[in-house]
Amino acid sequence: MTASTPAERRTRAMRLPPLRDADARAIDSFIDAWWAESGAARPTLDSYRRDLQGFARWRDRGDIAAADRAGLFDYLAWRSREGYSPRSNSRLLSALRAFYGWRLRQGLRADDPTALLEPPKLPRLLPKALAEADIDRLLAAADVDTPEGLRDRAMLELMYACGLRVSELVGLSAVAVNLRQGVLRVLGKGGKERLVPLGEEAQDWLERYLARSRPALAGSQAPHELFLTARAQPLTRQAFWVLVKRHAAAAGIDPRRISPHGLRHSFATHLLNHGADLRSLQMLLGHSSLSTTQIYTLVAREQLKRLHARHHPRA
């Protein structure tokens, strides 16, 4: 069977029955409780909500709270036939485990139907980092003579200098910046805070933005967020994605080769290439586990292999 395209899956999803009131209440109760228990970030909560709503709408009998293991198996099998990726199904299973585990702890059901479900095997994808020359061209692409262009330059410099996640960057508050000490207070996953050094170049562009661009964008308002649109509204992740692609095209970089998260990958890979140790890199990235950081050693190793193959006379 040929896997369906994302557009075909979205079309079929629109034909599913509407969400039942009982399912909506069960999911809302879980999301509220899960936020209080885990401190999960808003993007995580939103993806859990979408996954649970998708399962609830797919079921043609009973409500989601009463689903059994066979029903979960059937849904996962259907998604596999529809061409959903292993990564998407793995995220769905995380949402289901959290949902039914919470109901079990609350005494709302006597068993956990996800107990014997195995997560799909995920391919180990190496993060894609840009070359340092590409980064230089990207950072120089914004027109810093305009308020928006100066803002873009400051955001790109900051993301590359600090290795921020996109949500961390657009969620920065104006009071998170300490220019005197040259550090940034970042609120990461799970509500964990970390201090990240700015670096001279990023600090210089941030000072220019704060002195010239942000007052022009904010106008008479006093917004809490650090980075603003021309309407004094906080910049969204989607808007930052668009501006990264636009500046990549202006810099002569294929926009398909770059994403906002690619700047974070480039930050980590370039630090490692220049001698940073994994423990320091883990702290800068805000990883809770060192094993997550270790994947960048594989990236550096692959780059060394390509360098050897390209330049060694007997490669």
| Residues with catalytic function | 165, 189, 261, 264, 287, 296
DSSP string, 195-208: EEE--HHHHHHHHH
Is residue 234 helix, strand or coil?
strand
Rounded to whole angstroms, the Cα distance separating 20 from 78 reads: 21
Q: Do residues 226 and 174 touch, judged by C-beta distance below 8 A?
A: yes
Q: Using alpha carbons only, what angle is made at residue 71 by residues 67 and 76, rounded to the nearest 5 degrees?
A: 125
From the number of C-beta atoms within 10 Å of its C-beta (0-12, 13-18, 19+), residue 247 rates as buried
Nearest C-alpha neighbor of 51 from the set 106, 2, 98, 3:
98
Locate 116 and state its tokens: 């014997």
